Every structure is written in structure tokens, then in C-alpha cells.
A = this chain, B = another copy of it.
């Protein structure tokens, strides 16, 4: 192609390089660009990678793409990374630690320039090993206990606090928290926040039962099976805005999280690190919203049935914001 333009390959390379302006004559630049256009030339990324030691790709590891929380996050990641000229290599681990380890190994073998991990369990050694290692990694949604990797998530603690506050305001006294497996940081952050909020509301001695479910799902069916009605017998607050939870019966009051922004922030953080910014690992907690629907209401009698704050579902009604911090 340089031949076609009548210039030396090195010159052609410079002409096509958008950085460093004025490194080449306008005339030369034009000749080269025309030749490239006519030949449909695009630089070979393998050769370029070999020379520049940059792969131009970032690995994105997710636990399960069919979990509705994930796709908006990926879209956010993709948008930011794409416009920075980086492609996303996607790996879905199906919540399997071995597949997580295999995915991370493969992504490193492929020389990804960075890693965004949404699969971390609290004790994951594979993820912990990423600490301070190359390539830089950013954790989203799920954190590890050890070490300190950059982490982006919703401010779940504030969300839970607000959910408990909402129920308390309605007059509920008996409040339980149904959450996910203890192996996830998400679970621990939420249940600790629940405990703290209950102490704040009802004093240190009050019961604040926490139940661990195997997954974050809606518990309407379990309620019905127990012969209880929502919201007549019990109020329910969900966590995470999901499609259609505004259409179930009753429409679910939930804590909504800024999924897309979790993605964009994580990508931005990674870009910073790629830019050589090695500030101590930041934790970015983004604000949540409480969306009040029909699944929560004032209890009938005083000392009525308990109200469960729960993890999993949400859309658009009456909103109040729990400010996030970073």
C-alpha cells in the first residue's frame, strides 16, 4: 500500500498515525490516505501489537449474562472502552470459580491490556492475585475481602438503609432481610447495613433476622405458599431494578442501582490505570434510588406481621435518592 502511494512504509505508517500532528506533509498524508482507501487497507493489528506491545483489548468477566443486572453494566463498559479504541473480550463464567480462573488465565494469555471482573467471590484467590499485577484489573459489583483492587458498585448500604427507613416510616416493626450467599461481598455489605439500620431504628437489642437464599430472586411465590399476601400481610422491598418487576402483582418497591454508570465508571477507572495513573485503589460507590410501588404499605394493626426487605427486582414510580459516595 505504501508502494501504491509511492512512499516508504515508514512514511505511510506516520501518515496514518493520528497522533503527533505535522509529522508528515499534507500532500503525503493525502496520497497515503487515498491509497489506503483504494486498497481497503487497514493496518494489521497483529503486526502492530507485536511491535507496540499493546493488544487493544480488555477482558470482561461476568458471572452470568442472563442476570439482568449485568447487561446494562456491560453496555456502559463497552461504550467507554470502544470510544477509547479498546475492544471487549467477553467471558461468561456461569458463576463457576474454575471457569473464572480459566477465563482470567486465557484473557491474560491473550495479553489483554486490562481486566474488568464482575465475578469475584469474597475469597477468590484468582482475583486476589490480580492485586498489583499486570494487567490492571477493576472489580465491579462484587468485591474481595483481601487486598485492595479498584472497585465500582452501587452504594448498597445506603440503599438498604433507605429501604429499612421506608418500612419503618410506614410503621413496620418486624423486619427481616432475605439476601444471597455469604460468599459474595454484596451479601455482606447489605446484611451488615441492614443490621446497622435496624439498630438505629429499634435499638441494639431488637431482632434483625437475616436469611440467606441461594440466589437473588423474588420471594412472592414463597410468600403465597405460606398463605400470606403482599402487601396486606407483609410488605416487601426488592433490590436491583429489573424489567417487569413494576408489572408483577403487586408492583415491587425496590432499591434501584445505576447499572449503566457502574459500567462507565469501571471502564473510566481502568482507562486511568492504563494511562499510568497508579493512585491507591479507589472505591466508587454510586447512588441508589428507592422506588416505592404497591408492595409496601402501612401495616393493618399495630404489631402486625413482619415486612421483608429483600434482594432482587425493580422500574419507575415514586423515587427518592440515597446519595452515593466515592
Cβ contacts under 8 Å, A110 to chain B: 45, 56, 87
A49: Cβ under 8 A from any B Cβ:
yes
A46: Cβ under 8 A from any B Cβ:
yes
Pick out which of these stretches binds chain B: A137-145, A155-163, A244-252: A244-252
Identical copies of this chain, number: 2
A196: Cβ under 8 A from any B Cβ:
no
A91 to chain B, nearest CB (A): 7
CA distance A88 to B55 in the complex (A): 15
Cβ contacts under 8 Å, A222 to chain B: none
Q: Contact check, A47 vs B44: say whether CB atoms are below 8 A apart.
A: no
A111: Cβ under 8 A from any B Cβ:
yes
Pick out which of these stretches binds chain B: A25-33, A68-76, A165-173: A68-76
CA distance A72 to B94 in the complex (A): 11
A207: Cβ under 8 A from any B Cβ:
no
A66: Cβ under 8 A from any B Cβ:
yes
Q: Count the A residues whose beta carbon is within 8 Å of the partner chain — how many? A: 45
CA distance A66 to B243 in the complex (A): 9
* Interface members, chain A 79-135 (any B CB < 8 Å): 79, 82, 87-92, 94, 106, 108-111
Q: Contact check, B57 vs A78: say whether CB atoms are below 8 A apart.
A: no
Q: Contact check, A66 vs B75: say whether CB atoms are below 8 A apart.
A: yes
DSSP class of A's interface residues: helix, strand, loop or mixed? mixed
* Interface members, chain A 208-249 (any B CB < 8 Å): 218, 220, 242-245, 247-249
* Interface members, chain A 46-73 (any B CB < 8 Å): 46-47, 49-50, 55-57, 60, 65-66, 68, 70-72
A318: Cβ under 8 A from any B Cβ:
no
Given A74-B65, A248-B248; A109-B242 close (CB under 8 Å): no
CA distance A118 to B84 in the complex (A): 24
- Closest-by-CB residue of B relative to A71 is B65
Q: Contact check, A71 vs B66: say whether CB atoms are below 8 A apart.
A: yes
A326: Cβ under 8 A from any B Cβ:
no
Q: Contact check, A78 vs B66: say whether CB atoms are below 8 A apart.
A: no
Given A45-B110, A248-B244; A74-B50 close (CB under 8 Å): no
A8 to chain B, nearest CB (A): 21
Given A68-B68, A245-B244; A50-B57 close (CB under 8 Å): no
Q: Can you give 5 contacting A-B residue pairs, CB < 8 Å?
A: A65-B74, A87-B110, A243-B244, A244-B248, A249-B249
A residues near B (Cβ < 8 Å) are 42-47, 49-50, 55-57, 60, 65-66, 68, 70-72, 74-75, 78-79, 82, 87-92, 94, 106, 108-111, 218, 220, 242-245, 247-249, 313
New contact pairs (20) apart from A82-B91, A88-B90, CB-CB < 8 Å: A44-B50, A45-B49, A45-B110, A45-B111, A46-B50, A46-B111, A49-B49, A57-B89, A65-B75, A66-B68, A66-B75, A66-B243, A68-B243, A75-B92, A89-B89, A89-B90, A243-B244, A244-B247, A244-B248, A248-B249
Of all A-B residue pairs in the complex, the 6 with the closest CB atoms, nearest first, are: A46-B49, A65-B71, A244-B244, A42-B109, A46-B50, A249-B249
